[in-house]
Amino acid sequence: MKPFRVEIPQEQLDDLQRRLGDTRWPGELPETGWSRGVPLGYLRELAEYWRTGFDWRAVEAELNRYPQFTTEIDGQTVHFLHVRSPEPDAQALVLTHGWPGSVTEFLDVIGPLTDPRAHGGDPREAVHLVIPSLPGYGFSGPLQQAGWDNVRIALTWARLMEQLGYERYYAQGGDFGAVVSLTLAGVAPQHVAGVHVNFLVTAPPADPAALAGLEGPDLARLGKMQYFLSDLSGYMKLQSTRPQTVAYALTDSPVGQLAWIIEKFKEWTDSDKAPEDAIGRDRLLANATLYWLTATAGSSAQLYYELAAQLPTAAVPPPSMPPLPVPLGVAVFPHEMIQPIRAFADQAFPNIVRWTEFDKGGHFAALEQPELLAADIRAFVGALRP
């Protein structure tokens, strides 16, 4: 393992500013808002702030406050933050992001999770945090081989935790991070003490009669899933079939990269008019800048290709995970793009020990509601600890 610091050469930042200033902008139909994609006026204003007001060096300094490392596992560079709690009897937790996220989305939960005493929490719930960048994402890029699916990533996380000396630990994640965390429990149940997720897909049973007992809120969740599959999932189809093709545009144009992912922060969050209703502008741009500076738009999309058979489609519901051999905690945020149905979840995951329904927040919980998410994770870990 090698210590790592984020130190982007100034030439790369100058190149980003130049490219932003030289953007060739498309036209736009009048009065379409967000219905056909990211509005031109909004993106132009955000891109200008990115060029003239955003401070990447401040993001670097914040990341470099925490110990970071790189190692090589299974032929792939893996970057991770390793933040030890000041509490001597803290337990370990591996925290995994998804797409289009990165390790930057966890900056506001590191303190509350590792040092709850300083944040008004119970010190018995403290954890040591291991926060890896998914292979092909951020400083774990570029990918060296094909085949990096959820099982291979989970096996890599198990080896990483072993190398760090953690015999027993918890796993947490949202989006792909939830899939990896659940898979980690399946491949290393003797080491994973429990899994907490803030994203869980519950497929309807094959028997239509199972839908008969659902009430209004659950039917609404089914409708929301169908809306996602029919209207919001175009990116998924493209990235799961032709990730290399989309990589050229996103790697060449920072505004293209920004538009591609900022749309998700609008559609998947607890926001009204713009993503900034849910997440601070500098946090949004920190994430987009990391994708740009590491040129990982294409390599991050490869995970969709690897998991294409497991992704939901308009014709086929998402498959259920196999029975989970460890306790499971589920945090449900109301503006999540796909929300789980408890009756279906109990059938697929009989080991659910904690289920929390929140009244605000969406898909990027660590960015939108860091205090709520951190408190729920701590409570889950605290209830299970010996």
| pLDDT, tens digit (0-9, with 9 covering 90-100), for 237-253 | 999 999 999 999 999 99
pTM of the full structure: 0.96
Percentage of the residues of the chain whose pLDDT score is greater than 70: 97
Predicted local confidence at residue 292, as pLDDT: 98
Residue 314 has pLDDT above 60, yes or no: no
Candidate from 152-161, 255-264, 313-322, 364-373 with smallest mean pLDDT = 313-322
Residue 212 has pLDDT above 90, yes or no: no
Active-site choice (108, 169, 363, 376): 363
Active site residue 49: no
Could you tell me the pLDDT band of residue 376, with boundaries at 50, 70 and 90?
very high
Residue 309 has pLDDT above 90, yes or no: no
Predicted local confidence at residue 315, as pLDDT: 52
Active-site choice (108, 115, 149, 175): 175
Of 210 and 301, more confident: 301
* Those residues with Cβ within 8 angstroms of residue 22's Cβ, 6 or more apart along the chain or in another chain: none
Predicted local confidence at residue 317, as pLDDT: 53
Active-site choice (42, 166, 170, 304): 304
Residue 222 has pLDDT above 70, yes or no: yes
Candidate from 168-182, 272-286, 307-321, 331-345 with smallest mean pLDDT = 307-321
Contact (Cβ atoms closer than 8 angstroms) between residue 191 and residue 159: no
Residue 324 has pLDDT above 90, yes or no: no
Contact (Cβ atoms closer than 8 angstroms) between residue 167 and residue 141: no
Predicted local confidence at residue 210, as pLDDT: 78
Give alpha helix (H) positions in 307-369.
342-348, 365-368
Query: Average model confidence (pLDDT) for the chain?
Result: 95
Q: Could you please report the per-residue DSSP string of 75-127?
A: TEEEEEEEE--SSTTPEEEEEE--TT--GGGGTTTHHHHH-GGGGTS-GGG-E
Residues 40-96 pLDDT 10s: 999 999 999 999 999 999 999 999 999 999 999 999 999 999 999 999 999 999 999
Residue 228 has pLDDT above 60, yes or no: yes
Residue 205 has pLDDT above 80, yes or no: no
Residue 319 has pLDDT above 70, yes or no: no
Could you tell me the pLDDT band of residue 277, with boundaries at 50, 70 and 90?
very high
Predicted local confidence at residue 156, as pLDDT: 98
Predicted local confidence at residue 1, as pLDDT: 94
Active site residue 363: yes
Residue 287 has pLDDT above 90, yes or no: yes
Predicted local confidence at residue 207, as pLDDT: 77
Burial of residue 95 (CB within 10 Å: 0-12, 13-18, 19+) is buried
Predicted local confidence at residue 272, as pLDDT: 92
Mean pLDDT to the nearest integer, 214-220 = 91
Residue 107 has pLDDT above 90, yes or no: yes
Predicted local confidence at residue 211, as pLDDT: 83
Predicted local confidence at residue 33, as pLDDT: 95
Of 386 and 376, more confident: 376
Q: Where are the beta strands (DSSP E) in the chain?
A: 2-4, 68-73, 76-83, 91-96, 127-132, 169-173, 192-197, 328-332, 352-357
Could you tell me the pLDDT band of residue 313, with boundaries at 50, 70 and 90?
low
